[in-house]
């Protein structure tokens, strides 16, 4: 069974950074891309970017360049996203999602809520 | 960026009713259009890929169609579990973009 298990919710201070993880199981981690999607409270979905673990290649939405850094640890089948210089605009739920057929997301993590507050 | 305009933003409907949700792209996207369902607890489920292909395990009451800039998701007969948010997503070009969502509500 394919599963994407994300790390727990985070409460972080403005200006700080946070790293959230997405542990994949039930499939060959390096055979698929991993994408990240942001959802602000009561809002729609926004694509942040993706990583192809087998070649460690990343692609970012220009809007999130400098904000998000995507990495993949092939030894633990885990994708990570670090968000830096956090502001209230970064308070959101962040999802990881497996990419197939290029850009279709067939499995999603449960989401991680990041709250930026002093 | 390609803008995806989804209509309506909310739709009251009854059990057994046939409903259609529309998604219009700001430019042609060559059928590179997917649909997802999001439940109130945040769980997101894929429904349809490449305009009209049903994800494995998704009931056949769901169908997708369209071409060029205009696409639609149809549910032929609403079941209780179908009341949720629905999003379209284009992948013709980067950045990938989603529609603003349609909330399907019980009438």
pLDDT of chain A, 118 residues: tens digit per residue: 999 999 999 999 999 999 999 999 999 999 999 999 999 999 999 999 999 999 999 999 999 999 999 999 999 999 999 999 999 999 999 999 999 976 899 999 999 999 999 9
At B18, the pLDDT band (50, 70, 90 cuts) reads: very high
Note the pLDDT of residue B36: 98
- Contact yes or no for A44 and B87 at CB 8 A: yes
Q: Which tens digit of pLDDT belongs to each residue from B22-31? A: 999 999 999 9
Output the DSSP codes for B1-25: ---EEEE-SEEEE-TT--EEEEEEE
| Distance spanning both ends of chain B, measured CA to CA | 35
Note the pLDDT of residue B82: 97
Closest by Cβ to B91, choosing from A63, A104, A108: A104
At B1, the pLDDT band (50, 70, 90 cuts) reads: very high
Following CA atoms A78, A109, A13, A116 in sequence, which dihedral angle do they give, to the nearest 10 degrees? 160
Q: Are strands A112-116 and A10-12 parallel, antiparallel or unpaired?
A: parallel
Identify all chain A residues contacting B93, using CB atoms and an 8 Å cutoff.
none
Chain CA centroid to CA A77, Å: 14
Q: Is A41 on the interface with B (CB under 8 A)?
A: no
Note the pLDDT of residue B14: 96
Residue-level length of chain A: 118
- Contact yes or no for B98 and A44 at CB 8 A: yes
Answer yes or no: are the C-beta atoms of B97 and B1 closer than 8 Å.
Answer: yes
Identify all chain A residues contacting B42, using CB atoms and an 8 Å cutoff.
93, 110-111
Note the pLDDT of residue A102: 67
Residue B47 pLDDT more than 80?
Answer: yes
């Amino acid at each position: 069974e394919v599963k994407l298990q994300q790390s727990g919710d985070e409460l972080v201070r403005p200006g700080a950074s946070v790293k959230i993880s997405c542990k994949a199981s039930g499939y060959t981690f390096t055979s698929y891309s991993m994408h990240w999607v942001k959802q602000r409270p009561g809002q729609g979905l926004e694509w942040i970017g993706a990583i192809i673990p087998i070649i460690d290649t990343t692609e970012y939405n220009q809007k999130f360049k400098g904000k998000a850094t995507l990495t993949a640890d092939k030894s633990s089948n885990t994708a990570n996203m670090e968000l830096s210089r956090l502001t209230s605009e970064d308070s959101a739920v962040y999802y990881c999602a497996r990419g197939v057929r290029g850009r279709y997301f067939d499995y999603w993590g449960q989401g991680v809520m990041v709250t930026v507050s002093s | 960026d390609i803008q995806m305009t989804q209509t309506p933003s909310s739709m009251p409907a009854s059990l057994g009713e046939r409903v259609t949700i529309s998604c219009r792209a700001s430019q042609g996207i060559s059928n590179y259009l997917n649909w997802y369902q999001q439940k109130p607890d945040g769980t997101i489920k894929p429904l349809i890929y490449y305009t009209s292909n049903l994800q494995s395990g998704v009931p056949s009451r769901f169908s997708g169609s369209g071409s060029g800039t205009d696409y639609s998701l149809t549910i032929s007969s609403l079941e209780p579990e179908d009341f949720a948010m629905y999003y379209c997503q284009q992948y013709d070009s980067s950045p990938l973009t989603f529609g603003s969502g349609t909330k399907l509500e019980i009438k």
